[in-house]
Amino acid sequence: MTEASEKQNLFINYTWAQLGHNILWKMFLNGMIKHHRLFLNLGTMKVNPINIIIYSLIKKIDELQI
């Protein structure tokens, strides 16, 4: 346990838990989610979502239909 905590920044597990809760909340609230993963860059302190491929394909198909 000590070795693992030495490799992580302080509060990183709390941050991941909050981000995960946010994804779950959106799923329960809207019945679906657009993103299923997040990339957290600790250097820039930015979080980038990773889209669900199926959702992106469906959205593109809907945009093509007139």
Residues 53-61, mean pLDDT to the nearest whole number: 74
Domain range for 26 is: 2-64
Give the pLDDT confidence of 9-52 residue by residue, as tens digits. Answer: 777 788 888 988 988 998 899 888 888 888 888 889 899 988 87
Q: How many structural domains compose the chain? A: 1
Burial of 36 (0-12, 13-18, 19+ CB in 10 A): middle
Q: Give the pLDDT confidence score for residue 4 in this predicted structure.
A: 63
Q: What is the pTM of this model?
A: 0.57
Instruction: With beta carbons less than 8 A apart as the criterion, state whether 19 and 40 touch.
Output: yes
CA–CA separation, 50 and 17 (whole Å): 17
Q: Give the pLDDT confidence score for residue 61 in this predicted structure.
A: 80
Q: How far is CA 58 from CA 6, 27, 30, 53, in A?
A: 43, 17, 17, 9
* 55 has a pLDDT exceeding 70: no
CA–CA separation, 48 and 66 (whole Å): 31
Q: Give the pLDDT confidence score for residue 37 in this predicted structure.
A: 84
